[in-house]
């Protein structure tokens, strides 16, 4: 009985350490860009937004009283189709090397138990539960959402087309 409790504690500790390790890698990876200026909207431009959302695509409103940060990892564009609000968002997580992101990316893919995809030659996967497409290209982990507010309202094919356009710029 004591051996079972110790074994369960050991398994729980390993899971906690694995999750903590992945969190540290992601925190480090996103913190690695703090020294370099980066603006996601320089990669996810109006051209890609209109391709994904149509001609009515508009950027996320900016508050003119707030100074734009040196590092902006997410860019969102908005539109309306059939009276429903739709959006397209691209989030870029950047690390010093692919080896820094690959374990966390693989762990995320296994969490959602999806089959692997290729987007312009880069490993990727679609999570229907979240309605997001994730791509790992070199040292950049790209997360794309496209469609309505609910994950079921998002189209994996449209997200893939957007991701392909963005991956070509990396």
Please identify, in words, the CATH class of the domain defined by 2-167: alpha beta
pLDDT for 115: 75
Domain boundaries, the chain: 2-167
59/104 Cα distance (integer angstroms)? 30
What pLDDT band is residue 35 in, cutting at 50, 70 and 90?
low
71-122 tens-digit pLDDT: 999 999 999 978 889 999 999 999 988 888 999 999 999 998 787 899 999 9
120-132 tens-digit pLDDT: 999 999 999 999 9
Look at 133 and 7; give whichever has higher pLDDT. 133
What pLDDT band is residue 33 in, cutting at 50, 70 and 90?
very low
How large a percentage of the chain has pLDDT more than 90?
59
The mean pLDDT value of the chain amounts to: 83
SS (H, E, C) the chain: CHHHHHHHHHHHHHHHHHHHHHHHHHHHHHHHHHCCCEEHHHCCCHHHHHHHHCCCCEECCCCCCCCCCCEECEEEEEEEECCEEEEEEEEEEECCCHHHHHHHHHHHHHHHCCCCEEECCEEEEEECCCCEEEEEECCEEEEEEEECCCHHHECHHHHHHHHHHHHCCC
63/60 Cα distance (integer angstroms)? 10
Look at 19 and 63; give whichever has higher pLDDT. 63
Is the per-residue pLDDT at 20 higher than 80?
no
């Amino acid at each position: 009985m004591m051996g079972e409790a110790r074994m369960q504690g050991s398994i729980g500790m390993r899971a906690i350490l694995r999750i903590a390790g992945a969190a540290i890698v992601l925190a480090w990876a996103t913190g690695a860009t703090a020294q370099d200026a980066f603006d996601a909207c320089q990669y996810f431009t109006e051209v890609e937004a209109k391709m994904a959302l149509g001609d009515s695509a508009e950027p996320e409103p900016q508050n003119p009283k707030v100074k734009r940060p040196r590092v902006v990892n997410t860019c969102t564009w908005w539109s309306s189709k059939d009276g429903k609000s739709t959006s397209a968002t691209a989030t870029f997580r950047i690390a010093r090397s692919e080896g820094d992101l690959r374990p966390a990316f693989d762990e995320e893919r296994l969490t959602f138990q999806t089959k692997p995809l290729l987007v312009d030659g880069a490993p990727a996967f679609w999570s229907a539960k979240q309605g997001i497409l994730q791509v790992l290209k070199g040292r950049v982990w790209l997360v794309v959402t496209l469609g309505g507010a609910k994950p079921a309202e998002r189209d994996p094919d449209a997200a893939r087309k957007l991701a392909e356009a963005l991956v070509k710029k990396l």
